């Protein structure tokens, strides 16, 4: 049945036991994203090392989040924290690009486990256009939060 294809065990595990959940201090920037179709929302904070958010080699020290949403949006955000914490901004953006490509590929994109880790479990979700936004909600918040912290640096 297609249900198991979409709701891989990995996704259900992350949904039931989310990683990195809860908003934490300190943080450089926060992003709030809403899915206007269903009202799901996420608030996500990033903490980059030092005060050089403009620097692609800055390290993502922490990503913390809170919100409410379906299993797909919650699990995808949990997976995100696993994949980007401890990486450089550049590396995190590369993973981000790969995840977005997977999600927008309507099931035609072969995911690379070395890059996406547990994120490959979302390949089945990509076949359901209505759910792609759910999967990307936290990821969009991450990108937005990082660019906000960057913007803050520039105006300083």
Please identify, using beta-carbon distances, which residue of 46 and 141 lies nearer to other proteins.
141
Binding residues with other proteins: total (CB under 8 A): 18
- Cβ 125 to other proteins shortest distance, Å: 10
Please identify, using beta-carbon distances, which residue of 54 and 71 lies nearer to other proteins.
71
- The DSSP line for 44-61 is EEEEESTT-TT-TT-BEE
- Cβ 42 to other proteins shortest distance, Å: 12
Q: Per CB under 8 A, which of residues 31..70 are in contact with other proteins? A: 37-40, 68-70
75: its two tokens: 């699990």
Q: Contact between 108 and other proteins (CB under 8 A)?
A: no
Q: Contact between 7 and other proteins (CB under 8 A)?
A: yes
Mask for 127-146, x = binds other proteins (CB under 8 A): -x--x--x------------
Which of 95, 71, 73, 103 minimizes the C-alpha distance to 143?
95
Burial 115-154 (b: 16+ CB within 10 A, else e): bbebbbbbbbbbebeebbbbbbbbbbbbbbbbbbbbeebe
* Conformational region of residue 155, where left means phi above 0, alpha means psi within -120 to 50, and beta covers everything else: alpha
Place of tokens 């949403």: 69
Q: Contact between 124 and other proteins (CB under 8 A)?
A: no
Please identify, using beta-carbon distances, which residue of 15 and 27 lies nearer to other proteins.
15
Place of tokens 């920037």: 29
The rounded radius of gyration (Å) of the Cα atoms in the chain is 15
- Cβ 82 to other proteins shortest distance, Å: 21
Binding footprint of other proteins on the chain (CB under 8 A): 1-3, 6-7, 12, 37-40, 68-72, 128, 131, 134
């Amino acid at each position: 049945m297609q249900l198991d294809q979409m709701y891989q065990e990995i996704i259900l595990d992350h949904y039931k036991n989310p990683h990195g959940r809860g908003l934490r201090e300190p943080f450089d920037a926060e992003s709030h994203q809403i899915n206007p179709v269903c009202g799901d929302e996420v608030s996500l904070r990033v903490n980059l090392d030092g005060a050089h958010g403009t620097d692609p080699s800055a390290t993502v020290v922490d990503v913390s989040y809170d919100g409410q949403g379906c299993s797909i949006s919650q699990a995808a955000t949990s997976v995100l924290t696993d994949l980007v914490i401890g990486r450089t901004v550049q590396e995190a953006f590369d993973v981000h690009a790969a995840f977005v490509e997977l999600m927008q590929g309507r099931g035609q994109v072969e995911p690379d486990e070395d890059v996406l880790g547990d994120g490959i479990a979302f390949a089945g979700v990509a076949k359901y256009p209505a759910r792609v936004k759910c999967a990307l909600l936290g990821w969009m918040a991450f990108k937005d939060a990082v660019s906000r912290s960057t913007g803050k640096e520039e105006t300083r």
